[in-house]
Chains A and B, each alone.
Chain A
Amino acid sequence: DGGITQSPKYLFRKEGQNVTLSCEQNLNHDAMYWYRQDPGQGLRLIYYSQIVNDFQKGDIAEGYSVSREKKESFPLTVTSAQKNPTAFYLCASSPTYASAPSQHFGDGTRLSIL
Chain B
Amino acid sequence: GEDVEQSLFLSVREGDSSVINCTYTDSSSTYLYWYKQEPGAGLQLLTYIFSNMDMKQDQRLTVLLNKKDKHLSLRIADTQTGDSAIYFCAEIFSGGYNKLIFGAGTRLAVHP
**Contact A101–B98 (Cβ < 8 Å):** yes
CA distance A103 to B102 in the complex (A): 12
Q: For A31, give the chain B residue with the smallest CB separation.
A: B98
- How many chain A residues touch B (CB < 8 A): the figure is 26
Provide the residues of chain A in CB contact with B31, threshold 8 Å.
100-102
CA distance A98 to B4 in the complex (A): 23
A-B Cβ contacts below 8 A, count: 56
B44 at the interface (CB under 8 A from A): yes
CA distance A100 to B31 in the complex (A): 7
A94 at the interface (CB under 8 A from B): yes
Q: Choose from A41, A48, A105, A106 the contact partner of B99 (Cβ within 8 Å).
A: A48
Q: For B41, give the chain A residue with the smallest CB separation.
A: A107
Provide the residues of chain A in CB contact with B97, threshold 8 Å.
31, 48, 50, 56
CA distance A104 to B43 in the complex (A): 8
**Contact B103–A42 (Cβ < 8 Å):** yes
**Contact A40–B104 (Cβ < 8 Å):** yes
**Contact A102–B40 (Cβ < 8 Å):** no
CA distance A106 to B97 in the complex (A): 19
Provide the residues of chain B in CB contact with A40, threshold 8 Å.
8, 104-105
Interface residues of A, Cβ cutoff 8 Å to B: 4, 6, 31, 40-43, 45, 48, 50, 56, 58, 90, 92, 94, 96, 100-108, 110
Could you show 12 A-B contacts with beta carbons less than 8 Å apart?
A4-B42, A31-B97, A40-B104, A40-B105, A42-B103, A48-B97, A50-B97, A56-B97, A100-B31, A105-B44, A107-B42, A108-B42
